[in-house]
Amino acid sequence: MKNQKEKVTQVFDDIALKSSWESLYSGKIDRISYNFVTRQRAVEALLESCASGKALDLGCGSGDLVRFYSQKEVFYTGVDLSSQMIKRANVNYSDLVREGKAIFQVADCENLPFKDGEFNLLSAVALIEYLSDPSKVLNEINRVLKCGGYALITVPNKKCINSRIRSLLKPINSLLFPLYLRLKKSSLATMKDVKHHSYDQKEIDALMKNKGFEKVDCRYANFHIIAYPLDHLIPKIYIGLSELIVNRKLDKVFKNWSSNYIALYRKG
């Protein structure tokens, strides 16, 4: 039987082979891509103030955060366990690779092939939830970052009311959600095959503090005021309300409706 890491690799290899990951960031907004695009928006807003030098993007997928880093003239290294994701990234951003502004390589974030203190900045977007135990990657993040360097981490928010409703509806959900994705011909359906871990804000902040990081700032993204399964049936209302919260800067007020916690830490 496959372990979690092997399953994750296979699932993301399959998704990359169907070349659907980067399409999430292509600009077309639907109920699924909305969550990815808005999380990315919040990530970029937090990184804005500290983007300089050399950045490492852990679990980079098809490498779509490189566009932001290259605009900031930051030298980008993206790593992922999935060789197919790395292939896609190398094809999609071949111009940046050719110009010497970016490197994409296969690597396990729990055992990074980099020297101590090599990077000024690190991002781990939608990665930690796939790891059985976050302590190994947090040790590696600490090791490869310079003192005073920044780490941005996103995790699914355990306190999200919508996630709690989903887990109550799990037996029905496990039938309906993959069916919905398959009907929409989305290869993301295979993501249900791997375990996700959620964290509450205090938990991840405490883990980072134990490794010697102080929190600089945080945001929440994707507000499920319209709860599952209605959010899928009336996506326009779900997206509209979520946008309203972000535009009015009410993200911290509605944090328990948010499915993503995004935090920026500084290594002491």
Q: How far is residue 84 from each of residues 6, 74, 90, 100, 189, measured CA to CA in Å? A: 14, 24, 10, 21, 17
CA pair distance 157, 32, nearest whole angstrom: 17
Name the minimum Å distance from CB 124 to ligand SAM.
Answer: 8
199 binds ligand SAM (CB under 6 A): no
Q: Which of 51, 74, 102, 109 binds ligand SAM (CB under 6 A)?
A: 109
Nearest residue (CB) to ligand SAM, 55 versus 60: 60
Name the minimum Å distance from CB 154 to ligand SAM.
Answer: 8
Q: Which of 51, 89, 102, 126 binds ligand SAM (CB under 6 A)?
A: 126
Q: Which of 38, 82, 90, 242 binds ligand SAM (CB under 6 A)?
A: 82
Instruction: Dihedral sign for Cα 162, 167, 173, 177, please.
Output: positive
Answer yes or no: are the C-beta atoms of 65 and 39 closer than 8 Å.
no
Residues 9 to 28: which contact ligand SAM by CB under 6 A? Answer: 12
96 binds ligand SAM (CB under 6 A): no
Name the minimum Å distance from CB 263 to ligand SAM.
Answer: 15
Q: Which residues contact 2 (CB under 8 A, 6 or more apart)?
A: 10
Nearest residue (CB) to ligand SAM, 218 versus 226: 218
61 binds ligand SAM (CB under 6 A): yes
Q: Which of 46, 76, 110, 151 binds ligand SAM (CB under 6 A)?
A: 110
- Binding-residue total with ligand SAM (CB under 6 A): 19
β strands within the chain, DSSP E: 54-58, 75-80, 102-106, 119-124, 145-156, 213-223, 258-267
Q: Degrees (nearest 5) of the Cα angle 149, 152, 156? A: 160
Nearest residue (CB) to ligand SAM, 70 versus 241: 70
Q: How far is CA 50 from the centre of its chain?
A: 18
Terminal alpha carbon distance of the chain: 41
222 binds ligand SAM (CB under 6 A): no
Name the minimum Å distance from CB 68 to ligand SAM.
Answer: 11
Answer yes or no: are the C-beta atoms of 75 and 121 closer than 8 Å.
no
Q: How far is residue 211 from each of residues 57, 75, 238, measured CA to CA in Å? A: 19, 25, 37
Kindly list the residues in this chain that would bind ligand SAM in the complex (CB under 6 A). 5, 8, 12, 59-61, 64, 79-82, 85, 108-110, 125-127, 130
